[in-house]
Amino acid sequence: MGSSCKHKEKIVVEKDNNYQPYPLDQVRHIGYQLCYSVKFLHDNKLTHTDLKPENILFVDSDYDVIYNNKKRRDVKRVKRTDVRLIDFGSATFDHEHHSTIVSTRHYRAPEVILELGWSQPCDVWSIGCILFELYLGITLFQTHDNREHLAMMQRILGDIPLRMAKKTKTKYFYRGKLEWDEKSSAGRYVKDNCKPLLRYKQSDDTDHGLLFDLIARMLEYDPSQRITLKEAMLHPFFEKIAAHQRLGERGAGDIRRDRSLSMS
C-alpha cells in the first residue's frame, strides 16, 4: 500500500501530485456528489457560475502514497472521496442581473463565450469538463483565447451549431463557419493537442463508455439540449454508486444532513 499521509481539505486536482487522474470509481463518486450539490442550487433557481476543480475540496484528504510502475514515481491515492463544493460568491439567482461573461476560462460554456445568455446549463458544461479532468488528469480546453477555445471545441466535439453561430454578435464566425486558420501555429497546436472526445477513453470497458456518454451529454453545445442534473443523476454511469454513498434517498433528516455535507 505504501505510506499514508493526511491533510485536510485539499482540492481534487493537485499540481503537487502531477495532476494524477483518479480511478473510475472515484471519478464516479466525486461526480455524483458534484451533480447532487449543484442540482440543489438549480432546484432553488441558482447558478453557481464558477465550477472548477479548485472549488471542490475533500472533506478528509487522507491518502496513501503508492509507486506507479507505469509513471515510475510515487503518486497519492486518496482514501475517501467525500467532497464539499465551495465559493458561492458568483452564484446568481435567475431573477438577478447576469454578467455577460462568467466561469473560469477552461470551464466556460460556448453560450457564454458567444454571449448568447446563460443559465443553469452553463454549470452542467463545467461539470462535464471537470469529470474529464478527474478521469485523465489533464484540462480538456487548455487555452486562454476565445477563438482558439472554440476551435478546440470543434476539434473535440464537432462543429458548433449553425443556429448559435448565426445568433452570436461576436466576430468569430463568417457565414456560420468559425474563422480559424488550421495552418497557423495556433491551428497546428489545436490539431496536435486535441482529438475527438471518444479517443480520450482509456478503456473499452462499459463503465468507461458510460462516463464518456455522460460527458458528451454535458458538453452538448445547445444549452436547451444539454442534459440537466436531474437527468444526469439518473444516468447509468451512476448506477454503481454504493448504497452508503447515495444522497437524499433516505429520510428528510438524512437528506438535510447530506446537503449540509455536500454544500457547506
Positions marked active-site: 50
Q: Is 237 exposed, middle or buried (0-12, 13-18, 19+ CB in 10 A)?
A: buried
Residue carrying C-alpha cell 455536500: 262
Half-sphere exposure of 161 (CA within 13 A, CB side): 13
At a CB cut-off of 8 Å and minimum separation 6, what does 220 contact? 226, 227
Cβ contacts of 170-175, under 8 Å, gap ≥ 24: 170/113, 170/114, 170/115, 170/146, 172/114, 172/146, 172/147
Alpha-carbon distance of 159 to 152, in angstroms, equals 10
